[in-house]
Structure 1
Amino acid sequence: MSGFEVRNSEVELQKFRLRIWVVALVVLLLLGILLFRLTVLQVVRHDAFAERAESNRTAVVPIVPNRGKILDRNGVVLATNYSAYTLEITRSKIKDLEETIEALSELVEITPRDRRKFKRLMEDSKRFESIPLRSRLTDEEVARFTAQRWRFPGVDIKARFFRNYPLEDVGGHVVGYIGRINQREQEALEDSEDYANYRGTEVIGKLGIEQSYEKQLHGLTGWEQLETTAGGFAVRRLNSRPATSGDTVVLSLDIGLQKLVEDVYGERRGALVALDPRNGEVLAMVSKPGYDVNLFVDGIDQENWDFLNNSIDRPLLNRALRGSYPPGSTYKPFMAIAGLESGKRKVDTIIQDNGSWTFGGHTFRSGHPNGPTNLRRSIIKSSNVYYYMLANDMGVDTIHEYLSPMGFGQQTGIDLVGEARGVLPSTEWKRNTYKRPEQKKWYAGETISLGIGQGYNHFTMLQLAHATAMLANHGIQHRPHLGKGTVDAVTRAYSPLYKDAGTSMGYKPEHVEAVRSAVAAVTVEGTARGVFGGAPYTSAGKTGTAQAVSVGQKDKYNAAKLAEHQRDHSLYIAYAPAENPKIALAVIVENAGFGAAAAAPIARRVFDYWLLDQYPSVEDMAAVRKGQASRPIGVPRSGQEMMAAFERMELPGLGAPRVMEGLSGGDMASPRAPDTAPASLEPEAED
């Protein structure tokens, strides 16, 4: 072998050895990476993967609690649950879902709406969970399916609870309703500490008490821990905790009084709020027209939604809580207190009422002259001139300073969501409300009409009743509230809810008593004397008529020439008995004219029911509904007997009675008890 060949062989050998080393290094590197990855998987992330493996083997299924009931102060059920049959599918046990649904539709009716709802539920559920396809099956449908059950593995009949409002539209605005949780509510729940308790829950309180007391009514969600296969089939139950039903919420509302008021309104629009001035309990909170809240439980259909949403009568609006109106002359007693407290008037100050008053070249009307008028006569005869002059002397900001603490233009703090603030104007309010410079300026002439409850003044009936209750209670104010107590779902123990101790307004007693004496005289010698004539109890009140649309000073108001929705509103505030008030109220009948003609007769029937247990006769009820009533006519019926008949009325799926069982007489307040544990008239003056 030549030297050249030897050198060439050595070069090849060196290259071969280099390749061996490179391959060895690559193999070692790969082995190192593999060992590192195994260490991460087996050691570093062992716990995480073990937990994931366990979750693949087990599943936790929530058990939704039964929602708590809602009762009135006497135990009458306002919201409850009932059991009904549902047709349910467990997808993990079915091979062809669409084929199964089509076959089922031959036995029971399955609408497109049922299919859409089922599809939504599938998106939020696991394969081994049972999902309702059809709710509220009839006995005939249950029988037809049961006979063919063998054909449908994974399909079963189950009993579920459904929410129901047995009194339908009576008190509907107060009770509210539940509905499916929407995206906004879902996001809010996810950010709250209660999110875990809502696993599996499909509905939530939307309005009224259902919304405000959601936490108490919802209950505690239970759970089942199931062992499952890789395909999602449940094998056995490993552990469980039962759900705890929500508490029963007892309201201060008296549903008998509530129904009476709703009945006397008839087809008219308006609102009434009645309070116990001694503690702020809401006895009645009426908004007319109303609507059947059961329509919303499973999602309202388009036809009913269009009717309710587009109606000119606006039945969806809670007029008592959110409707704001000019108070008219019902505002005068509170202006009188403000005038006395501010020092702008004394009780015996006399002004000359000539039937009109001129300011800045503009004449403000006052109906007819009242002559020399002091504070008492100004309220009895409803003198506009007295309050035109008082408003001018006080000025808008002083009026705001003294009327705001009474609750005007402020939220009362009632335990309902969505309360309107109304408008109690001030110079600052106008600057912040309007955009153009000339609109921001407050003109002296704008102050005048504020004194008689017109102009920018707009308040809710809740605010007006709140202020009336303060006057009835000698200047002590209580926060209005509907929640009276709760009944524990497990122990059945009754617990009273928070009670307001009351706040003194700090008024001089002689000022309050001067106004109280004047409003008491209204029912004896003033604009409401015809309505309250013959009443065996004393009462105090003030009529009011408020413009729905502006009428020029040179024009005379003529209801016949205006559309019905443009006519004046009829208002009345009152409390009774005058010397020791047990009930205070504010009432408005929209577009019904003088306060004494439409609103005051409703107040008389409320007091007769609450204080005398008298329910209007048939002919009297008809007259009140038409706005043609004064004092009651006919022989009144017994309020207790009418309420008992109302409670016995049966509704589909519920039957009777509606009064909750299991609460002793000492648990519930008597409707007349102050604070125990649960047991055609021509006006004399323009008002």
Structure 2
Amino acid sequence: MPPRRIIIRNQTAEANLFARRTFIAFCGVVVVLLVLLANVYTLQVQSFEKYQTRSNSNRIKLLPVAPNRGLIYDRNGVLLADNKPVFSLEIIAEDVEDIKSSIEQVSKLLNISAERQSKFFKSMKRKRRFKPVELHSRLSDQQVALFSVNQHKFPGIFVNARLKRYYPFAELTTHTLGYVARINRKDANKLKISGKSENYAATYAIGRLGIERYYEDMLHGTIGHQEVEINNRGRVIRTLNYTPPVPGKDLTLTLDIELQMIAKRALSGKRGAVVAMDPRTGGILAMYSNPSYDGNLFVHGISTKNYKKLLQSKDLPLINRSVQGYPPASTVKPFLALTGLEENIVTPSTEIFDPGWYKLKGLPNKYRDWKPSGHGIVNLTKAIEQSCNIYFYDLAFKLGITKISTMMERFGFGERTGLDIHEESKGIMPSVAWKRARYNQPWYTGETLSVGIGQSFWTVTPLQLTQALTTLVNRGERKIPHLLKANSELIIESSGNAYHQITPTVYEPQAPLKLKNDHHWDTVLKAMHNTVQKFGATANKPFRGSTYDASGKTGSAQVARIKQDERYDAKSTSENKRDNAMFIAFAPFNKPEIVIAVAIENVAKGGGATNAAPVARQIMDQYFGNRVITSQISSIKHQVPTAIAMTSREAG
């Protein structure tokens, strides 16, 4: 058996190895500690502000506060657009023990539909349990009162109030004021592009049409902020700071709501529009389009059923007829007469014989007068008084379309007036260049004759007629039609006193329309005066007995072509092909305070004198003090492209 080997351990070597390993481990620990200390220094010293800000952003949140929208008043201080409290029923789920049972009970109490209950449970799944979820919006006063009495039975359920736009006069002001509606994706993109999205962070509605849209920046105001402290679940613990929003500016319009009411009553059952303006300032006194619709429907989001009803209505209530084009018919004869005088084509004493028809040399077609037997010998004044078509066929032929269109453009026809709403149409002032660009066709002389009585391709808006008439009665002084009279904002002084600072709107004067002979203004205006005041003239009958000195011009526009050997018969003509009735007027004659344009579509009988002039008479009666009795006004308050025409058939 071999001898056993005995291994003797080297204690010194082992001690040295252990010492080396200990030293290496110690060095590693030191390095790690140094790295940790360096990191702590970086976090706590060098990057303190950066991480402090991040920490605060996790702990402190900035909540936007929506400003109150500015109010809108008429010229006499009557409120036209208000911010009305709307009450909604909301629930915080974590504060309700049995959510399903509570919903059933409160729904039974307030008669809340199963559809709303279903929407609530869907919404609740998408929100945190400590945040309120809406069960019912727009509670009635009765529902609010009923719930208030029983609120102690429903912990975690409460009524919340918000301000939403409200239009007290409903459809009476919609086409002028417009309305606000929910901000959609298109609106949000526009706000983002314009750099305004931050100011709308807490806003749910934006101006959609009319004044509400045009003056959106003034009406909206400036957003405020609420600085709050939140916990790790997002719950608000306390408010640290509050910056109040700046409310939107209140607007005062030139509109007179009582004139609006009279316009609505006068147009009852008719399709048409009325525009009344103060020729001294250009302020719009009344602008009403009938039929209209209730803008309040859009504030809370119009239902598909109601919107479809508006779209499919044969009366087209969504169209603002006061700024849409109509053939002007004989209402433009005074402007054509002025053109003839200015171009030395006619004089006040120039006469022609009217046999009841007019023919171009070498052509078989007859252009007829509204009076089959004709007017006999007529001069310029009589031609306007009696609305003689033959005189103006002849005048248009001698002038030519170029001279006509050039002068009419100086009166503003074919261009937007500059009114402070976006929905205005330009109308059409035809010319040789216009027809070539539009149809790639030459201009024909027969079309010039039709233009001479306000037909053919020519279309004007009632607003354009009031602006042109204003220029006429001001003898060339031009005014820009406008709705805004003044704006006001709430000023809070350092002492705590508050007051409204009112800023009247100032409009720049426009370049006047100058004539070679200023007497031409008088000739045309006196003829319009005779049209109303002279017995037997076309507009005399509607204004008999008036206490003010009115002047005007009637018009009847054909909207469907008839054959040479046919006569127009309204009874046998379908409604949409019947004539339109037109009328323009101003008063008093010497110092005009009001100009009016009226357009009524597809009248069943008569023309401008029978249908449109009485509407202007009612508005002027109201304006000059022949007031409708209070009970009638109160009852009104609580009710709260055209076919090419070729000829004209009756007086004015």
Contact 2:274 2:287 in 1 (8 A): yes
Distance 1:421 1:600 in 2: 25
Give the match's secondary structure for 2:610: coil
**Other-structure match for 2:315:** 313
- CA deviation vs aligned residue, 1:613-647 (integer Å, no higher than 9, x gap): 333xxxxxxxxxxxxxxxxxxxxxx4xx3587469
**Other-structure match for 1:612:** 625
Which 10-residue stretch deviates more, 119-128 or 589-598?
A: 119-128
Per the TM alignment, residue 356 of structure 1 is displaced from its structure 2 partner at its CA by: 1.4
Task: Indicate which of 226, 240, 249 corresponds to 2:242.
Answer: 240
Map residues 500-515 of structure 1 onto 2, 5 A cutoff.
Answer: 500-507=508-515, 508-515=517-524
Give the match's secondary structure for 1:488: strand
- CA deviation vs aligned residue, 1:313-357 (integer Å, no higher than 9, x gap): 111111102x21101100111111222223333333333322211
Map residues 45-84 of structure 1 onto 2, 5 A cutoff.
Answer: 50-84=52-86
**Other-structure match for 1:448:** 449
Distance 2:39 2:445 in 1: 84
2:616 counterpart of 1:603 = yes
Map residues 554-593 of structure 1 onto 2, 5 A cutoff.
Answer: 554-592=565-603, 593=606
Q: 1:647 to 1:449 in 2, by over 3 A?
A: closer
Per the TM alignment, residue 455 of structure 1 is displaced from its structure 2 partner at its CA by: 0.3
Count of residues paired in the alignment: 603
Distance 1:606 1:155 in 2: 53
Distance 1:400 1:141 in 2: 63
**Other-structure match for 1:552:** 563
Q: 1:116 to 1:269 in 2, by over 3 A?
A: farther
Letter in 1 for 2:272: G
Give the match's secondary structure for 1:504: coil
Q: 1:519 to 1:366 in 2, by over 3 A?
A: same
**Other-structure match for 1:20:** none
Contact 2:224 2:245 in 1 (8 A): yes
Contact 1:226 1:237 in 2 (8 A): yes
**Other-structure match for 1:264:** 266
Q: 1:548 to 1:112 in 2, by over 3 A?
A: farther
Distance 1:125 1:447 in 2: 69
Which 10-residue stretch deviates more, 95-104 or 169-178?
A: 95-104
Give the match's secondary structure for 1:476: coil
Which 10-residue stretch deviates more, 338-347 or 78-87?
A: 338-347
**Other-structure match for 1:475:** 476
- CA deviation vs aligned residue, 1:492-513 (integer Å, no higher than 9, x gap): 2322123343541112311111
Distance 2:379 2:139 in 1: 71
Task: Indicate which of 391, 398, 405 corresponds to 2:403.
Answer: 398
Contact 1:127 1:232 in 2 (8 A): no
Distance 1:459 1:648 in 2: 31
Per the TM alignment, residue 194 of structure 1 is displaced from its structure 2 partner at its CA by: 3.0
2:90 counterpart of 1:88 = yes
2:391 counterpart of 1:378 = no
Q: 1:577 to 1:265 in 2, by over 3 A?
A: same
Contact 1:289 1:313 in 2 (8 A): yes
Q: Which has the larger radius of gyration?
A: 2
Letter in 1 for 2:434: W
Per the TM alignment, residue 176 of structure 1 is displaced from its structure 2 partner at its CA by: 1.8
- CA deviation vs aligned residue, 1:286-316 (integer Å, no higher than 9, x gap): 1111122222211122332222211111111
**Other-structure match for 1:419:** 424
Distance 1:152 1:456 in 2: 68
Which 10-residue stretch deviates more, 366-375 or 472-481?
A: 366-375
Task: Indicate which of 390, 393, 400 corresponds to 1:388.
Answer: 393
Q: 1:125 to 1:642 in 2, by over 3 A?
A: farther
Distance 1:390 1:80 in 2: 53
Contact 1:227 1:238 in 2 (8 A): yes
Per the TM alignment, residue 464 of structure 1 is displaced from its structure 2 partner at its CA by: 0.9
Which 10-residue stretch deviates more, 83-92 or 589-598?
A: 83-92
Distance 2:229 2:108 in 1: 35
Per the TM alignment, residue 582 of structure 1 is displaced from its structure 2 partner at its CA by: 0.6
Map residues 260-409 of structure 1 onto 2, 5 A cutoff.
Answer: 260-321=262-323, 323-359=324-360, 360-361=362-363, 362-368=365-371, 369-409=374-414
Per the TM alignment, residue 100 of structure 1 is displaced from its structure 2 partner at its CA by: 7.3
Distance 2:344 2:99 in 1: 80
Per the TM alignment, residue 243 of structure 1 is displaced from its structure 2 partner at its CA by: 2.4
Q: 1:151 to 1:38 in 2, by over 3 A?
A: farther
Distance 1:279 1:113 in 2: 54
Q: 1:325 to 1:95 in 2, by over 3 A?
A: farther
- CA deviation vs aligned residue, 1:168-210 (integer Å, no higher than 9, x gap): 2222221221111111111111122432221110011112222
- CA deviation vs aligned residue, 1:361-388 (integer Å, no higher than 9, x gap): 1221113422333221221121212221
**Other-structure match for 1:686:** 651
Which 10-residue stretch deviates more, 498-507 or 93-102?
A: 93-102
Contact 1:277 1:478 in 2 (8 A): yes
Distance 1:153 1:397 in 2: 79
Q: 1:234 to 1:402 in 2, by over 3 A?
A: same
Task: Indicate which of 436, 443, 446 corresponds to 1:431.
Answer: 436
Distance 1:226 1:350 in 2: 85
**Other-structure match for 2:193:** 191
Contact 1:69 1:249 in 2 (8 A): yes
Distance 1:181 1:111 in 2: 27
Contact 1:65 1:222 in 2 (8 A): yes
Percent of aligned pairs sharing the same letter: 38
Give the match's secondary structure for 1:227: strand
Q: 1:147 to 1:600 in 2, by over 3 A?
A: closer
Distance 1:381 1:97 in 2: 79
2:532 counterpart of 1:523 = yes
Q: 1:59 to 1:373 in 2, by over 3 A?
A: same
Q: 1:235 to 1:260 in 2, by over 3 A?
A: same
Which 10-residue stretch deviates more, 111-120 or 253-262?
A: 111-120
Normalising by the residue count of structure 2, what TM-score does the alignment of the two structures yield? 0.83
Q: 1:308 to 1:39 in 2, by over 3 A?
A: farther
Letter in 1 for 2:618: R
How large is the RMSD of aligned CA atoms in angstroms?
Answer: 3.5
Per the TM alignment, residue 489 of structure 1 is displaced from its structure 2 partner at its CA by: 3.3
Runs (5+) with no aligned partner, structure 1: 1-23, 616-637, 652-682
- CA deviation vs aligned residue, 1:154-175 (integer Å, no higher than 9, x gap): 5432222232111222222212
Contact 2:568 2:649 in 1 (8 A): no
**Other-structure match for 2:550:** 539
Q: 1:144 to 1:428 in 2, by over 3 A?
A: same
Per the TM alignment, residue 556 of structure 1 is displaced from its structure 2 partner at its CA by: 0.8
Which 10-residue stretch deviates more, 50-59 or 256-265?
A: 50-59
**Other-structure match for 2:169:** 167
**Other-structure match for 1:680:** none
Distance 1:547 1:33 in 2: 94
Letter in 1 for 2:370: G
Letter in 1 for 2:598: V
Letter in 1 for 2:166: N
Normalising by the residue count of structure 1, what TM-score does the alignment of the two structures yield? 0.79
Contact 1:75 1:250 in 2 (8 A): yes
Per the TM alignment, residue 281 of structure 1 is displaced from its structure 2 partner at its CA by: 0.7
Contact 2:265 2:636 in 1 (8 A): no
Per the TM alignment, residue 478 of structure 1 is displaced from its structure 2 partner at its CA by: 0.5
Give the match's secondary structure for 1:82: strand
